[in-house]
Amino acid sequence: MAGRFIVVESSSMDNVPKRSFDLEQRTQKFSRDVRLFVKNVPKKFENVEDLKQLLRSSGSVAANFIEANEAESKKDFRHRVKICRKEAKESRFWLSSLIIEENDLKGEHRRLQQEAYEFELIFGSIIRNTA
């Protein structure tokens, strides 16, 4: 089952080009982007534990997708992708739990929440299509 998983975004409009991306690279970028974001978030008491959990879950999305790409069976692949979806949901939860008051971080905060949500949708689709 080993191999790269390439996702092609569909477009409902004919004049909008479709984008393709390597999902393994995209999950790794998400993990790095979360780390850069966390580095810039003030370490207030109310955020410290949420930030730790966010670091763990965002890294787990990427690590489990690497494992999924190396799966030895379809069943193992689906199981790892289900874990990816669960960790993406958890990342989005921890992101939504954070209290971000700094205006310069709010845009990146929203972008990361959106990326986690898109991962949920992508992994859900993979799970449905590999049944």
Residues 37-61: tens digit of each pLDDT: 999 999 899 899 999 999 999 999 9
- Residue 8's pLDDT band, with cuts at 50, 70 and 90, is low
Under a CB-based contact definition with an 8 Å cutoff, are residues 35 and 52 in contact? no
**pLDDT tens digits for range 79-115:** 999 999 999 999 999 999 999 999 999 999 999 999 9
- Sign, CA dihedral 125-22-79-95, equals negative
What integer pLDDT is reported at residue 2 of this predicted model?
Answer: 47
What integer pLDDT is reported at residue 11 of this predicted model?
Answer: 45
Tokens in use for 16? 């909008």
pLDDT at 127 over 70: yes
Q: Is 88 left (phi over 0), alpha (psi -120 to 50) or beta?
A: alpha
Q: What percent of the chain has pLDDT over 90?
A: 80
Q: Is 32 left (phi over 0), alpha (psi -120 to 50) or beta?
A: alpha
Helix, strand, or coil (residue 105): helix
Matching CATH number, 6-129, of 1.10.10.10, 3.20.20.70, 2.60.130.10, 1.20.1440.60: 1.20.1440.60
- Residue 131's pLDDT band, with cuts at 50, 70 and 90, is confident
Q: What is the pTM of this model?
A: 0.83
For 4, which DSSP code? -
Q: How many helices (H) and strands (E) does the chain have?
A: 4, 2
